[in-house]
Amino acid sequence: MKQKRFSDVLGLRLTRQALRVLKERGILAHSPVSLEHQHLAKRYVVRGVESGGAVGEIGRYVTFTTEEGQPIEYLHPVEAIGVNGLHAVVVAPVLVRVEMLRTGRTYELLITQHRPGATNDGKRPPLETRLLFRGIHGRLDLDLSEKDKDKAGTVLPTFYSRAGEEVRIPKRFRQSVRAITGAVNCDGCSHCHYVRPPQKKEDQSCAAESVTA
């Protein structure tokens, strides 16, 4: 059981061959999350990095959402050397990681929730990981990098159980999975597909005024 939780923290479990091919193709998707301490706020948060992209028949991407599946504001963007690498750093009390691997038109999907665990002795809390969805050998018979590119960001792979029954992605995460499905078909990716820039203070003030008006 401990090994399974450890693997979930690291992300999709890939073979050495798969990792080697991704590296050779120049696709860097940083899936591990970490527990960090904010000294000024005196709290623990979870840190992740939206990253990845695609080259031809393969793609891998990692993004993050809120517990409700909504886009999360990033801390800051990352200008990486080259493409298909790091895009933005996210930090929050709770993160939901959405990770996808594409080989041709076959898709693997992992959705996990990460948060600081409880502690009563003042020591560093554990990083709790909860499996929310695991899709194996999903299928989407569209070429989202070429002739069906206009559908990128609007469609989902279909996943099945071992018995051949469709396994539905939780409704609150379908928006993020649509986005990441486009991301693993984004050749030479250099931008974020789901996390968003921080809202400016003046924009927040305007939003608050519109609510109270």
pLDDT in tens, 112-168: 999 999 877 778 999 999 999 999 999 999 999 999 999 999 999 999 999 999 999
Q: Which residue has the tokens 């921080």?
A: 198
pLDDT in tens, 159-176: 999 999 999 999 999 999
Average pLDDT over residues 46-68: 97
pLDDT at 90: 98
pLDDT at 120: 74
Question: Residue 56: left if φ>0, alpha if ψ -120 to 50, beta else—which one?
Answer: left
What is the distance between the alpha carbons of residues 149 and 94, in angstroms, rounded to a whole number?
A: 33
Which domain covers residue 18, as residue numbers?
A: 2-212
Determine which of 172-176, 192-196, 202-206, 207-211 has the lowest per-residue pLDDT on average. Answer: 207-211
Give me the chain's average pLDDT, please: 90
Q: Specify whether the CB–CB gap between 174 and 126 falls below 8 A.
A: no
Q: What is the DSSP secondary-structure string of 140-176?
A: ----TTTTTGGGTTT---BEE-TTS-EEPPPGGGHHH
- Measured over the CA atoms of residue 116, residue 119, residue 124 and residue 128, the dihedral's sign is negative
Residue 77 has pLDDT above 80, yes or no: yes
pLDDT at 10: 74
129 beta partners = 114
What is the distance between the alpha carbons of residues 3 and 18, in angstroms, rounded to a whole number?
A: 20
Q: Which amino acid is at 88?
A: A
Return the SS3 of 202. helix
Number of domains within the chain: 1
Burial class (CB in 10 A: 0-12, 13-18, 19+), 138: buried
What angle is formed at CA 63 by the lines to CA 73 and CA 184, rounded to 5 degrees?
A: 135
Q: Supply 18's token pair.
A: 């798969």
